[in-house]
A and B are shown apart, each in its own frame.
Chain A
Amino acid sequence: MRRLWWCLFLLGLPMGNLSASELSLSSEIDRLIHANGQPEKFASAANDEEFLRRVYLDLAGRIPTHNETATFLNEKSPQKREKLIDDLLAGPDFPRQMAERLNIWLMERRGENDEWKKFLRSACEENQSWGEIVRRIIKPDDSNETTRGAAFFITQRLVSRGAMAPIDVPGLTRDVGRLFAGVDWQCAQCHDHLTVDDYYQEDFQGLHTIFEKVATRRGSKFPAIDEILMSAPQEFMSVFIQEPRTTPPRVPGGSEIPIPEFPKGEEYEVAPDRKKRIVGVPKFSPLRELANGLTTTENKLFSRNMANRLWWMMTGRGLVEPLDLHHTGNPATHPELLDLLASEFAAHNFDIKWLLREIGRSNTYQRSSQLPDESETPAPYEFASEKRLSAEQLFWSVLIATKEFDRLAEPGQSIEDVVAASKDLQTLRETFVDTFANPPTEPEIDFEPSVKAALYLMNGDGVHKLIAPKDGNLTHQLAKRSDAELTDELFLAILVRRPTDEERKDVQSYLAENEVRRESAIQNLIWALVSGTEFCLNH
């Protein structure tokens, strides 16, 4: 009996039956957020519908299907949220969505490549540590067919785009700093940063010199690079203080990499041969040193950068913003929390799933996004922030909302299978990316609605085809329902929630006015919800 009580007690705990160290992070998150805020102003916990949609978008990259919604809402277990988080992280959607997200973060819409996709996908399927992923990007292994596409990160940035835009090694250097260390050293290329105390020119130059010795491999069928022998430190000069200086290669957040000296003729593992067009493989690989030095658990820039980005992904707000401007003059809003997230992330071998799970379990993540009081703009974390849906999230979600997925899916088919089997849907996916993504090199951080997207939703035929009545799709199903049933199902299917009383009245009076043309009216209702603000935000 006593034992049973003990079990019930454990089940009743918000964290369930976790080990002590894991128990601490999500509750520590809440403790630190509480300590820096005004808890009496905090919004209440998100209701099940709000939580369900949010966690599906964050961890599955799409809204839940009708069945998934019903299952969760009918589930009575007090642990159902924790269980859903675990199920989604273990489910088949997670690798797809995480790979899409990493692709957007890392390539910033610079183009697509199948080998690169394969690399990201396998990394997310195997839940490779972030350290491992970055090592493969920085020092790609061309002998590994699954991961060699990682070189696309570098090769795509070394593409020359006409005489006005030559190969941009400084741009690549900048992006490595921004995306893997959270530091934008652009201004430090030519001088120590003017307004940021801890961005030095030697930091930039020390990283730049590594990429100056990288060449894209010509004629390769897959993205590949070669390293050119580095034998001397980089010379540079500030535009303000015209004194020549030198730096060996440097690791952001780490140390200098000494350049080893080899007797002449012994610098290479594989000697270059111009006649045979062999570039050669130097014994000293600055890329390997960089890959290893960057991804150590001691490298604070590395762990803080990704901890902050994963936190931003889940909460819609970086502890440090902009995400790529970590420095002493721009401290985190919650410095202790960032330190903790970063050190725990490192201690757990940069396990992305683990960190997402801990954040997802926190009350901070599970707070409502509805404003407690209309008149006041709340402070960060008093309520859940709205997040932009990526073009991909929108695409998968539209297929589910309009029940195009239900209509086409054979038993056991995933949404990816359905799209893979349809040329039209593949085209639609491309159109969505073209329409809703930012232009190349613009990070997708904020919600930036565009006239182009509005025109597409109004007058493009893609979404209209999904709304037109077809056996088994939402329009078709709703037409068979009573007005009251229709209203509930409409909102549940598209917005993953039941309508409010006001919305019920809105819908039902509109249906009553349009009784004679009910099918058009239903399509108008679906369109209005799909193209509305609520649908294109994760809140």
Chain B
Amino acid sequence: MPHPRCQIADHTLSRRRMLGALAGTAGGLACGGLLQPTFAKELQKSDKQMLLVWLDGGMSQLESWDPKPGTQFGGPYRSIPTSLPGVHLSELMPRLAKQMHRFSLVRSMRTEDPNHSSGVGKILRGHPKNRGVEYPFMGSAVAKLLGPTKSGLPPYVWVKPGNGGFISKHAGFLGAKYGAFALGNGKPPKNLVRLDSITVEDDLARNALREKFNRRYAKRHPPNNSEAHSYVYDVAQTLMKHSDLFDEATLSDRDRDRYGRTDLGKHTLLGRRLIEAGVRFVQVQSYGWDTHGDNFNAHASRVPKVDQALSALLEDLDERGLSERVLVVVMCEFGRTPRINGSVGRDHWPNAWSLAMTGCGIRPGTVIGETNADGTDIVGERYDIGALFHTWYHAIGIDPTTTEFMNGTQPLPIAHDEMQPIRELLS
């Protein structure tokens, strides 16, 4: 087992050479380069998208997806029946319970890392075998594998509380440009709106001039820097065209109420709009789930926010016909201990936890695996995060057995190469 601290890139090849390997056409930035060309072309046509809801700190499975009411560790909340006969959720999730037939659960997650600092990275990287390189987070990986959609919007957008900016660290060995375009507090990036002193015509004219001069420069110099530079302007201009995405005035009161006027509600609603606008991968982040103390009150206040935002999202994706091609995943770095500690809290628990998913061909209403009566262990087969990455890659149309990353000349599997997808989830 690799040591938790030993995860910094080994840089077998320099990033410069990585970028060199990415040269080629502008499509190289989006997709090609690291994939076999023919395969890359097929993928570029993909219309699959993904929305990941990340509950940072670790939501308790017992107060959400896998309740054990009336048992030693069950806590005070009851369970309620769902639209799926025989399946119960915590009473903190009444809206999702009514939609249980629309999504699926894995209740038999067993992962390795009980620490936040290293565990978050392991789950978001799909915990592949340690090859001395730093793997990309899922958003960066999908940005690399599928590229931006035709919309030209950044392929990986991260909606999070706190600061925004471009988070290149998520990209690992793929190289900085596959990092996360982070919208802090759901706010647009700075300088999104054209200055009043510049007319639309002038704006178009000067950008056309810039492109013309760039093309002349690019003819006499290696193409990759020029292309990378042009690409960021293209993305910037596309974002400007979509500035209404960030304008709260364009939101209906009804939508705001349905998703909830909470951070998570607002950010999930923005996530839906970003998906509709054509962002390939959206990650919506919720912080503060690390309930070592006062676990039950914390979950009583937090889980209903998830319930509200997610149920509205599921309705909308279905209504708009998006659920066929948008994969939604809800997860965290681990669950929480069945044992209730001295501060009425639950601690870190990678041994037996749950996550949820829907859309994009995931067979709806499937519940994979189960825990024992007390929720202290998994009964039967257990899954590490690698199996889930295989499943999700399959769902969005990438076969992890035939697709590889290239780190310079080093081919690397995109998901743990000793694991398999969970077939029951794939239709």
Contacts and interface: CB of A to CB of B under 8 A. Distances in A.
A454 B232 contact: yes
A29 interface: no
Interface residues of A, number: 65
Interface in A487-539: 500, 502-503, 506, 510, 514, 520-521, 523-525, 527-529, 531-534, 536-537, 539
B181 interface: yes
Interface stretch (B46-54, B222-230, B251-259, B342-350): B222-230
A533 B192 contact: no
Contact of B235 (A195, A318, A451, A510): A451
Listed from nearest, the 5 A-B pairs whose CB atoms lie closest are A528-B209, A524-B206, A454-B236, A321-B14, A459-B191
Interface stretch (B213-221, B297-305, B313-321, B379-387): B213-221
Contacts of A446: 15-16, 19, 176
Interface in A443-459: 445-456, 458-459
B209 A524 contact: yes
A156 B166 CA distance: 23
Contact of A187 (B10, B194, B210, B237): B10
B277 interface: no
B249 interface: no
Given A321-B16, A527-B206, A533-B217, A195 B191 contact: no
Contacts of B169: 439, 442
Nearest to B23: A377
A187 B8 contact: yes
B116 interface: yes
Contact of B198 (A186, A450, A454, A464): A464
A531 B219 CA distance: 18
Contacts of B229: 447, 449, 532-533, 536
A255 B68 CA distance: 61
A484 B240 CA distance: 35
Contacts of B203: 458
A532 B168 contact: no
A184 B8 CA distance: 10
A452 B235 CA distance: 10
A35 interface: no
A536 B213 CA distance: 13
Nearest to B193: A459
Contacts of A195: 10, 12, 132
Interface string B174-217: 00110001000000011111110110001101110110111011
9 contacts: A190-B5, A195-B132, A370-B221, A447-B225, A453-B232, A458-B240, A520-B202, A521-B205, A528-B213
Chain B CB count within 10 A is highest, among A371, A453, A456, A459, for A459
Interface string B250-293: 00000000000000000000000000000000000000000000
Chain A CB count within 10 A is highest, among B23, B191, B195, B228, for B191
Contacts of B209: 506, 510, 524-525, 528
Contacts of B190: 452, 455-456, 460
B192 A537 contact: no
A521 B201 CA distance: 11
Given A454-B235, A524-B205, A533 B225 contact: yes
A207 interface: no
B191 A455 contact: yes
Nearest to A188: B6
A452 B194 CA distance: 14
B236 A458 contact: yes
Interface in B391-409: none
Nearest to B133: A195
A369 B221 contact: yes
Interface of B: 3, 5-6, 8, 10-12, 14-17, 19, 23, 116-117, 132, 154, 165-169, 176-177, 181, 189-195, 197-198, 202-203, 205-207, 209-210, 212-214, 216-222, 225-226, 228-233, 235-237, 239-240
B195 A461 contact: yes
Given A446-B16, A452-B165, 9 more contacts: A439-B168, A445-B16, A446-B15, A460-B191, A506-B216, A528-B213, A531-B233, A533-B217, A536-B229
B6 A187 contact: yes
A340 to B, nearest CB: 22
Chain B CB count within 10 A is highest, among A190, A194, A445, A450, for A450
Given A190-B5, A458-B236, A451 B221 contact: no
A195 B2 CA distance: 13
A306 to B, nearest CB: 18
Nearest to A503: B216
A446 B19 CA distance: 9
A164 interface: yes
Interface string A385-398: 01000000000000
Nearest to A174: B8
A500 B235 CA distance: 29
A450 B232 contact: yes
Contacts of B228: 447-449
Contact of A450 (B166, B195, B210, B214): B166
A305 interface: no
A448 B216 contact: no
Contacts of A528: 206-207, 209-210, 212-213
A534 B225 CA distance: 10
A528 B14 CA distance: 32
Contacts of A539: 221
Contact of A322 (B15, B177, B189, B239): B15
B132 A187 contact: yes
A424 interface: no
A468 B195 CA distance: 13
Contact of A531 (B210, B225, B235): B210
B216 A502 contact: yes
A374 interface: yes
Given A374-B219, A386-B222, A539-B221, A458 B3 contact: no
A81 interface: no
Contact of B5 (A189, A447, A455, A529): A189
A191 B12 CA distance: 18
A531 B216 CA distance: 14
Contacts of B225: 386, 447, 449, 533, 537
Chain B CB count within 10 A is highest, among A317, A374, A449, A537, for A449
Contacts of A461: 195
Contacts of B197: 464, 468
Contacts of B16: 317, 321, 445-446
B14 to A, nearest CB: 4
A42 to B, nearest CB: 16
A521 B202 CA distance: 8
Nearest to B204: A524
Given A464-B198, A533-B217, A377 B222 contact: yes
A371 B220 contact: yes
Interface string A64-77: 00000000000000
Contacts of B221: 369-371, 386, 539
